[in-house]
Amino acid sequence: MNAPRNVSYQSYLTESLKDPEEAAAYVEAVLELDDTAALLVALRQIAKAHGMAEVARRADVGEKSLFRALSENGNPTVSTLHKVLHAVGLRLSVTPAHA
């Protein structure tokens, strides 16, 4: 991800995360950190890129519930994660840790 010089990093990130390929790569990179807080930040940024209200609608989750689940102190259920990821064009996947 190389942001053009005339675009802020946040604007570039938001636009990039609308692309499912970029969003998936971003989540994969964050998962490598093994940091739950960082994962929540990444998911929140992806949801914001797609519009929180629209993600909540597509995920069939209340807006307040979505904000709470993806907040700094959030603890989303697997069901909520699945719904949110699906709403932004992603899906959960499992691979061997040592391939």
| 95 lies in some domain | no
| 92 lies in some domain | no
| 14 lies in some domain | yes
The phi and psi torsions of 89 (rounded to 5 degrees) equal: 85, 20
| 33 lies in some domain | yes
User: In the prediction, which pLDDT does 4 show?
Assistant: 61
Nearest to 36 by CA among 7, 75, 10: 75
**What tokens appear for 45 in the block?**
């940024």
| 80 lies in some domain | yes
- Residue 57 domain boundaries: 9-87
Note the pTM of the prediction, 2 decimals.
0.86
Residues 6+ apart with CB under 8 A from 24: 90
| 97 lies in some domain | no
| 4 lies in some domain | no
For residue 3, is pLDDT > 60? no
Lowest mean pLDDT among 5-19, 32-46, 51-65, 79-93: 5-19
Count of structural domains, the chain: 1
